[in-house]
Structure formats: structure tokens, C-alpha cells
Amino acid sequence: MTIATPAAKPPYELVDFANIPPVACPCGQARRGLAEVDDYPGTIHVTEISIDAKLHYHKRLTETYYFLECGPDARMQLNDEILPVQPGTCIMIRPGTRHRALGRMKVLIVVYPKFDPADEFEV
């Protein structure tokens, strides 16, 4: 007797962000990876920040921004505080923190739990 077993998952997931269509978000344009991977607890975004990024917050999500590219005047607003950032800077943003990037930049954002557009509130 042969017992059917589910197909084994590959030992990794490969994401090519160039093949993910961007979606509009309060920050600019985000390409969101790993959203459909059920055994990964978050999502990874590559986001092009626009000059008119909007102040927003999340009630449940924790976001970690890693700044890939930005100009010398790049800043991040976190509630009422404004911090300078540069490539290589990383900021973990807890739920409830109003935030936005100031200036054009490209960031890698790690989101836990998985990104949910219903948990994004503009101020």
C-alpha cells in the first residue's frame, strides 16, 4: 500500500523584486515580496520613497527600514522627532509610531507580521 504524501516544499524562496509590480503606498511605490509564502511570518518590501511621502502608522505591524540609497539631506520623521539617515542606517518602527521618510530614497522594509493594507492609517 502506497500512502500519498504532500509534495515537499523547496528549502528556500527566491524573490526577484524586478518582477514584482509596484503598488502605491503612503511612502511612494512598494514592491512586496514573500506575501504569499505561508511559512514566512512577514513580508519584505523594496520601496521607492517619493518626495511627498505621507505620515502614517500601523496598529499591529512592526516595520524595519534599511536605507539602501538616499541623498545627504534624507531624514525620517518618527512621531514628532526627525532623524537624519544615510545608506546603511536601519530603524525599527514599533506599532503606533507615526512615521514617514523625508526626501527621495530607496529602502528595504522588513514587516512583521505580514503586511496588511488594512493596518495602514494616514495621519
Q: What is the CATH number of the domain that holds 63?
A: 2.60.120.10
Per-residue pLDDT, 9: 86
Whether 8 is in a domain gets the answer no
The rounded distance, in Å, linking the Cα atoms of 28 and 22 is 9
All three cell numbers of 118, joined, read: 488594512
Q: How confident is the model at residue 7 (pLDDT cuts 50, 70, 90)?
A: confident
Whether 101 is in a domain gets the answer yes
Whether 121 is in a domain gets the answer no
Instruction: State the Cα angle at 19 between 14 and 25, rounded to 5°.
Output: 105
Per-residue pLDDT, 48: 97
Q: Which domain holds residue 106?
A: 21-116
Q: Does the model's pTM come out above 0.75? A: yes
The rounded distance, in Å, linking the Cα atoms of 110 and 45 is 6
Evaluate the CA torsion angle 85, 72, 26, 68 in order and state its sign.
negative
Whether 1 is in a domain gets the answer no
Whether 5 is in a domain gets the answer no
Per-residue pLDDT, 59: 98
Per-residue pLDDT, 92: 98
Per the structure, the count of domains in the chain is 1
* CB atoms near residue 49 (< 10 Å): 25
